[in-house]
Amino acid sequence: MMTEFRTVTTEADVVLLDRALRALSHDLGDTHEAGLDALRAALTGTTPAAYGLLAWDGDVVGAALYSPVFSTARGAAGVYVSDLWVDGATRGQGVGQSVLAEIARRAGKLWQAEWMTLAVYGHSTAARRFYERLGFAPQESVTQMRLSQAGFERLKGEGR
């Protein structure tokens, strides 16, 4: 059976995406605070914060969450893949690569993306090998920095 792709747009799609992302968090041993309300808010509205994608092969076999980015150093738009999940029973069958390829096509059409970036947990050695086989390389000269929610609120001037 051929893998088909569907943009997350309906409530049923949001539920399926939530289920897949919860499985991803579980697989990674990570916390999962993004519930249905957070996903709905991120994926809908005038300016969505992210796009969701489901991969089907008779059932959901893959899912991803991605969003636009722009780099002045590259002089071009790109796509950031924040989450990529592939069902354990279908891993190693090309689903992950096909999901990333579909994201690249969609981001290319939607905002003329020319490159892709993502983050890999240090303990996810199999995931890192998968990404490296596709041509991803670590950015040795870059340190990813994160501002906490409290810091973000302070920065906005709302946490005073």
**What does the domain layout of the chain look like in residue ranges?**
4-118
Does 57 or 30 have the greater pLDDT score? 57
The fold for domain 4-118 equals Aminopeptidase (3.40.630)
What is the spatial distance between Cα 50 and Cα 60, in angstroms, rounded to a whole number? 19
| 21-40 mean pLDDT | 89
State percent of the chain over pLDDT 70: 98
Q: DSSP assignment of 15-67, as one string?
A: HHHHHHHHHHHHHHT------HHHHHHHHSSSS-S-EEEEEESSSEEEEEEEE
Q: Across residues 74-96, what is the average pLDDT?
A: 95
| Residue range 1-27, pLDDT digits in tens | 578 999 999 999 999 999 999 999 998
Is the pLDDT at 160 greater than 60, yes or no?
A: no
The answer for residues whose C-beta is within 8 angstroms of residue 23's C-beta and 6 or more apart is 85, 87
Q: How confident is the model at residue 62 (pLDDT cuts 50, 70, 90)?
A: very high
φ, ψ (nearest 5 deg) of residue 53: -135, 135
pTM of the model: 0.90
